Amino acid sequence: MADIVPEAELVEKLTRSRNENRPLRVKLGLDPTAPDIHIGNAVPLWKLRAFQDLGHQAVLILGDYTACVGDPSGQNKTRPQLTHDAVMAHAQTYLEQAGRILDLEKAEIVKNGDWFSKMSFGEVTRLCARMTVARMLERDDFAKRYKAGEPIAVHEFLYPLMQGWDSVEVRADVELGGTDQLFNLMVGRELQRDMGMAAQVAVTNPLLEGLDGVHKMSKSLGNYIGITESPKDIFGKAMSIPDAMMKKYFIMTTDATMEEIESLLAPSAHPREAKVALAKALVKRYHSAEAAEQAAEEFDRIFRERELPDEMPIVRIQPGELENGKIWIVKLLVLGGCAETNGQARRLVAQGGVRVGASAESLEKVDDEKAQIEPTAGLIIKAGKRRFFKLEQ
């Protein structure tokens, strides 16, 4: 599920590469705007790994300067700007997680701050002179925002130029990215031509919707599967993927063949078996086949047989958290790690996703966000479909 622009040029490049025994330089830029990589972010990383396996040179750019500007692709408003320190902290975990997919020892890894930090103001203005405002407004998202009267900050125009200049600096033959980045990738082609270089080919993949089946996968929306999540969390989240999204997830996030996918999703097949196969494939990809089988068994035990997981996090409530010997259910969920904020915890309660009890059989729904809970030892809290923790004094 990739678009190649222009396809004939990629065929020509691959043929020349083979005849001259010269590997192609295949570029992927990652902006470390968050600390974790999810399976949507991982799609182009797996494509880069495929080029590596074919003997080509993977060039991974950590966008420490582009991340500070913020990619406007697909945005209907200006992104908040991150500090360079925050970006660099994220870059470390990004690189560690990318190593689960790429052979980092064979990859060329650079930061675009290596060249942008050295640019003078005059060099920046000369780079800006290579692009017109009219050309920039050909971008679909900029055009929509301009037509709707939504503000477009001047620094957002810099982003496509910066991403394009990255291609000049690393002399990319091929650049990978999402379909929403095609404009940026084509800017790279234009800038390379301006500099007298052979133009790169753009290879794009569709964006992967999150677990809600509607919005782009995003940690901020809570609709993601992180590649470093536990096997049981990856498995459980995969089991919640909407039926209509199954084929896309199989194609984009696993190495299943089309024949296998069509068989699993055939009208005569049981939908649950397809979801189990997808969940196992994801756990196997990021953990192991053994972990996939264990996660499947635990999922069945919890959700089919209504049992509790073998292991649950233990949470100890400090006396200072109590009021009249009880604790607010919202605060309890945050302390238990089931929600990052009070707002998220309130939504869990309002949606009927919270149960409390001393055993699997006695778990009772708590749907009042003002509820006060007596934190007795051994009390079990279930939040959503997959999260459990137990209290201990």
Map out the domains of the chain as residue ranges. Answer: 3-205, 231-303, 314-391
Average pLDDT, whole number, for the chain? Answer: 91
Judged against a pLDDT cut of 90, whether residue 80 lies above it is answered with no
Helix (H, G, I), strand (E, B) or coil at 328: strand
Which pLDDT value is given to residue 1? 60
The confidence score (pLDDT) of residue 304 equals: 65
pLDDT of residue 348: 86
Q: What is the mean pLDDT of residues 67-85?
A: 82
pLDDT score, position 6:
96
Pairing mode, if any, of strands 387-391 and 354-357?
Answer: unpaired
What's the pTM value of the predicted model, to 2 decimals? 0.79
Give strand pairing partners of 60.
28, 109
Rg over alpha carbons for the chain, rounded to the nearest Å, is 24
pLDDT band at 323 (very low <50, low <70, confident <90, very high): confident
Please say whether the structural domain 314-391 has been given the CATH code 3.10.290.10. Answer: yes
What pLDDT score does 125 carry? 96
Identify the H or E element spanning 302: helix 289-303
- Is residue 276's pLDDT more than 80? yes
> What are the φ and ψ backbone dihedral angles of 381, each rounded to 5 degrees?
-120, 130
Any idea what DSSP says for residue 309?
Answer: P
CATH topology of domain 3-205: Rossmann fold (3.40.50)
**Tens digits of per-residue pLDDT, 210-253?**
998 898 898 777 789 999 999 999 999 999 899 999 999 999 99
Query: Rounded to whole angstroms, how far apart are CA atoms 288 and 296?
Result: 12
Q: What is the pLDDT of residue 373?
A: 87
Joined tokens for residue 197: 């270089």
The pLDDT value given to residue 117: 96
At residue 307, the pLDDT reads 67
Residue 288 has what pLDDT?
96
Q: In the prediction, which pLDDT does 306 show?
A: 65
Residue % of the chain over a pLDDT of 90: 62
Q: How far apart are CA 307 and CA 301, in angstroms?
A: 6
Which of 34-48, 61-75, 201-215 shows the lowest per-residue confidence on average (mean pLDDT)? 61-75
For residues 279-287, give the mean pLDDT: 97
Structure confidence at residue 259 (pLDDT) = 96
In the predicted structure, residue 302 carries a pLDDT above the cut 80: no
Residue 130 falls in which region: left (phi positive, over 0), alpha (psi -120 to 50) or beta: alpha
What pLDDT does 21 receive?
95
* Per-residue pLDDT at 274: 93
- The residue ranking higher by pLDDT, 1 or 335, is 335
- CA pair distance 29, 45, nearest whole angstrom: 10
Mean pLDDT across the stretch 262-285? Answer: 93
CB-based contacts of 163, cutoff 8 Å, min separation 6: 29, 63, 66, 71, 181, 184, 185, 187, 188
pLDDT of residue 340: 82
Give the per-residue pLDDT at 262. 95
- pLDDT-derived band of residue 153, with 50, 70 and 90 as boundaries? very high
What is residue 156's predicted lDDT score, i.e. its pLDDT?
Answer: 93
Q: In this predicted structure, what is the pLDDT of residue 122? A: 97
Q: Report the pLDDT averaged over residues 250-278.
A: 93
CB neighbour burial string for 145-160, b if at least 16 within 10 angstroms, e if fewer: beeeeeebeeebbbbb
Does the pLDDT at position 385 exceed 90?
no
pLDDT of residue 336: 85
What is the model's pLDDT at position 305? 59
* pLDDT of 254: 97
